[in-house]
Amino acid sequence: MTAAPSSPTASAILDSAELDRLIAGLSGEGYQVIGPTIRDGAVVYEPLQTAAALPWGWADRQDGGSYRLVKSERNAAFDHVVGPQSWKRYLYPPVQRLWQAQRRGRGFLGVTRNPPTPHYAFFGVRSCELHAIQIQDRVFNNGAFADPGYLARRAAAFIVAVNCARPAGACFCASMNTGPRASEGFDLALTELLDSERHEFLVEVGSAKGAAILGCLSYRPAGDSDIKAAQTVWDAAANAMGRTMPAGVETLLKHNLEHPRWDEVGQRCLNCGNCTLVCPTCFCTTMEDVTDLTGRTAERWRKWDSCFTLDFSYIHGGSIRRDSRSRYRQWLTHKLANWHDQFGSSGCVGCGRCITWCPVGIDITEEARAIRDNGG
């Protein structure tokens, strides 16, 4: 696990009723608050007006290819874990117009600029997601090819993290050293303390911005018993992980590019692209240049793409990766192995989304284990 401070430098206790004021306070500071809420049978990240929109009393049951919301035994705001969406939806929108130009004479002029940068407050960011954001930071803040839109949205964002009280069935953050406890990269971090006697939140402050917002709320300083209660929550989540990624997976995959397991998983893989789109670190996009009927207006759009499409590897003469086997291998070896060479860390944060949202339940931890256990 990532080293976390055993006692936070500044922490406070908020009553659960204060969540509303926290959301209002963030709105008052000009942030659009985005947080978890229930839609169409899942927890999704959408604009929040009040704390009432949080999934109070709901938990999720997750397994390969299956996600169900279930009533929790208690009325917690954050007993759910991660859903089908991630914060990349806001930091790196799925469909974005990059520019528009009008025809003038023989050329094009009048390029329109992008709309002003939105100021988001992300409410309820899990530790794995904080790590995913930091991974995307490294992808997009890369010098010559930095993405100004992403960096502007990222710099403007306020992050309220939430420490998981329970992992979902597909979670394996503990074995990726990315959670379950949020250790850095937040402005405020909440731990929900709920028992028969109280419903409160331990708040850890991670930045001056966070301290300023906390200062607008009614709170009391956290005592030793509060920290101890929070520690119980953190430990319970860490000790209940649903899945584990085998150690040394980077080397394992690099040494097994022709393992028969790739053929086997290729038979099951639908090459539908779901795993890449729910992954909080996958960043591939395609560009579409469009014109209107008259040819007087041209636009460039950027859209989320996936290495599971044929077009993704299309070069002169055709696609390089024509079968599911080679596309699946490309994705998994990039995510778990070659990402280290490219960006200095694994591309996987153990959130389990690719397992849960694979329509046929392919489990990357199981695939890695199968390679390891069969001569890999």
Give 96: exposed, middle or buried? Use CB within 10 Å, 0-12, 13-18, 19+. middle
Angle between helices 261-268 and 364-373 (to 10 degrees): 150
CB of 352 to another protein, least distance (A): 12
| Closer residue to another protein, CB minimum distance, 168 or 174 | 168
CB of 44 to another protein, least distance (A): 7
| Closer residue to another protein, CB minimum distance, 11 or 356 | 356
Q: 197 — alpha (psi -120 to 50), left (phi > 0) or beta? A: alpha
| Closer residue to another protein, CB minimum distance, 194 or 362 | 362
CA distances from 370 to 62, 65, 157, 162, 362 (A): 21, 19, 40, 33, 12
Angle at 247 between CA 245 and CA 249, to 5 degrees: 80
| Closer residue to another protein, CB minimum distance, 21 or 300 | 300
Angle at 227 between CA 215 and CA 351, to 5 degrees: 90
CA-based nearest residue to 119, from 1, 214, 26: 26
| Closer residue to another protein, CB minimum distance, 43 or 229 | 43
CB of 350 to another protein, least distance (A): 19
Which residues of this chain interact with another protein, rule CB under 8 A? 39-42, 44, 65-69, 84-85, 89, 94-95, 267-274, 277-278, 288-295, 303-306, 308-311, 322-324, 356-357, 359-361
| Residues sharing a CB contact under 8 Å with residue 159, sequence separation 6 or more, in sequence order | 121, 122, 125, 130, 133, 185, 186, 187, 188, 206
CB of 274 to another protein, least distance (A): 5
Q: 208 — alpha (psi -120 to 50), left (phi > 0) or beta? A: alpha
| Closer residue to another protein, CB minimum distance, 327 or 335 | 327
CB of 312 to another protein, least distance (A): 9
CB of 263 to another protein, least distance (A): 13
